[in-house]
Amino acid sequence: MNTSFVRILIALVLGGCGSRVAVDGAAETDAGRECVGAPDRDASASSPAPTATPQPTATQPPPACTLDPGFPAGTSVVACGFPPHVTLIGGDDAALYVLTESGMFYRVDKTSGTKTLLYTAPNDGPSGPVVFALGQGNDAALAGGVLLAFTLGRGVWSLDTSAPSMPVKVLGDVFENPPLVDSTSMYFLRAEMAPGSVQYVDVERVPIGGGKATVLDPTYDTPVALGGGFVYVATEIDGSYVDPPYPHLRRVPIAGGPVTTVLETLDTSGSAGSIAADAEAVYVIGYGSASGTQAVPVTRFPADGGAPTTLTVAGAIDPEVPGPVPWGLRLDDAFVYYVASPQLGAVFGTGSAIYRIPNAAPMSTPQLVAQGTSIGPPLFDAEFVYLALQRGGTDGPIEGAVLRVPKGAPK
């Protein structure tokens, strides 16, 4: 992939289309250019551009990174020396993309470990940097050469990954959930308010490269997963979490078509990151009222409606004995991965671990991929599992690091 044409779509609480800053700091104007990717009826995508200036000296040679003990054989450090608490927000054939909690966006070369600082989000006083850095679900994804991340703030933005640049707005503040993404489009619940009423409430698809929105599901459902040519949506919960009714899981073809029910009772929070799908099945982390205890099953539901399979049970098996909370469900071609930590999300400074199980057969004891501090959901390529974590504090300064674990290493 030619990374000069790759763009990261990031979510900032700032507004509008605007100038793009060249590597030497000179402004390259975007006069007359429209914001792409936004529905035609969204007028909010024309607000002023961010005013922060990217760092002019962004490329940093990799420091001497050493591997801490305790990781599987073959594990290596891709890059280190980041500010503490980093999140992997995507990857392509040549690079990984990393976001720090302080709002710094990096490109990391997979081979050399060279870091390029693409953009630093401005600090918004007591509330911190105006950027979405963490999340439980699909807060970032690489699709068709475009890297996406979202917030419920004021829009979705693009960032040139070939060099430091200013972000450009591509979608206004019209989505209720962090949009899901495939190689061509974004999928989200649009709920745009008008004075005294809700003007639009529907599930829409918007082309990443620009174009009109298409309504896929004209109801208040939330997209939670993509797979096998379908977008999966969870219904609203019209009642208590303790007693029925529970949310339902439905799906609609990504090209448009009838909405069909997949699960009448969705034993989950119904959020992206607790549900994943491929062409054969839907995978669900089953925390919720229907589980009955703190035990958390990970269940495979065949797409053809066959009998479900409990792949593993995570967390505690007794309400008196707390266990780690599973979240951040991810799939590769053979395994289901999840993060286990004391609470949902990669909380700064807390211990967590990444586990995996086969995607079609039960496993009572999941394979441990890696464990450390502040680990978030992994990324994959054909050979490696990539993860970001926090390390140091005892034998050295606290820093963020990115590691890679061979796919065959966990036992």
Burial class from Cβ neighbours inside 10 Å (0-12, 13-18, 19+) for residue 332 reads middle
Confidence at residue 46, expressed as pLDDT on a 0 to 100 scale: 39
Domain ranges of the chain: 1-22+56-178+377-411
Helix residue spans in 124-167 (DSSP H):
none
pLDDT in tens, 5-14: 334 444 443 3
Confidence at residue 150, expressed as pLDDT on a 0 to 100 scale: 57
Confidence at residue 23, expressed as pLDDT on a 0 to 100 scale: 27
Going along 196-308, which residue ranges are E strands? 197-207, 214-217, 222-227, 230-234, 249-253, 260-263, 275-277, 281-285, 295-302
Distance CA 15, CA 17 (A): 7
Q: Which residues, including other chains, have CB under 8 Å from residue 128's CB and lie 6 or more apart?
A: 102, 103
Q: Which residues, including other chains, have CB under 8 Å from residue 108's CB and lie 6 or more apart?
A: 78, 79, 95, 96, 97, 98, 114, 115, 116, 402
The stretches in the chain having pLDDT less than 70 are 1-63, 124-154, 197-198, 209-210, 238-245, 268-269, 287-294, 315-323, 343-348, 394-395, 411
Q: What is the DSSP string of 203-214?
A: EEEEETTS---E
**Cβ 246 vs Cβ 237: under 8 Å:** yes
Q: Is the dihedral of CA 120, 126, 130, 131 positive or negative?
A: positive
Confidence at residue 405, expressed as pLDDT on a 0 to 100 scale: 95
Q: Which residue's entry shows tokens 């890679």?
A: 404
Distance CA 28, CA 19 (A): 6
3-state secondary structure of 43: helix
3-state secondary structure of 275: strand
**Cβ 28 vs Cβ 21: under 8 Å:** yes
**Cβ 310 vs Cβ 299: under 8 Å:** yes
Give the neighbor-by-neighbor strand order of the sheet with 197-207: 180-181, 185-194, 197-207, 214-217
pTM of the model: 0.80
Strand partners, 215: 204
Confidence at residue 341, expressed as pLDDT on a 0 to 100 scale: 82
**Cβ 224 vs Cβ 236: under 8 Å:** no
Quote the DSSP letter at residue 123.
B
Confidence at residue 139, expressed as pLDDT on a 0 to 100 scale: 55
Confidence at residue 283, expressed as pLDDT on a 0 to 100 scale: 93
Comparing CA positions, the residue from 60, 59, 65 lying closest to residue 401 is 65
Give the neighbor-by-neighbor strand order of the sheet with 104-109: 59-60, 115-120, 104-109, 95-100, 86-91
